[in-house]
Amino acid sequence: MSKPKTTPVFYDEQEERTFWEVNDSSAYIDWGKAEKVTLSNLKPSTKTISLRLPESLLERIKIEANKRDMPYQSLIKAWLAEDVKEHSL
């Protein structure tokens, strides 16, 4: 592969967006030298849902969450994630 072209200096995000819409990045970046990175501080997108639970079950969950010193919603999410992970193929 020949030496990559020098990426121009952009004065704003719109100018950069317009440039990359019409130019192939492989002419400017040697993707063969790219390294995989992990962005561990990114938070996954979430979606709010409504879940109806019997009051007695919710109270028991809140008690368990209190014992663990965590919000009950976080405990429910942790339990769901754990169960899905266990039962995934």
- What is the pLDDT, as a whole number, of residue 29? 87
Tokens of 21: 């819409």
User: pLDDT digit string (tens) for 39-73?
Assistant: 888 888 889 999 999 999 999 999 999 999 999 99
Tokens of 49: 């849902």
Residue 1 has pLDDT above 70, yes or no: no
- What is the pLDDT, as a whole number, of residue 44? 82
Domain residue extents for the chain: 55-87
Residue 34 has pLDDT above 70, yes or no: yes
- What is the pLDDT, as a whole number, of residue 4? 80
pTM above 0.85, yes or no: no
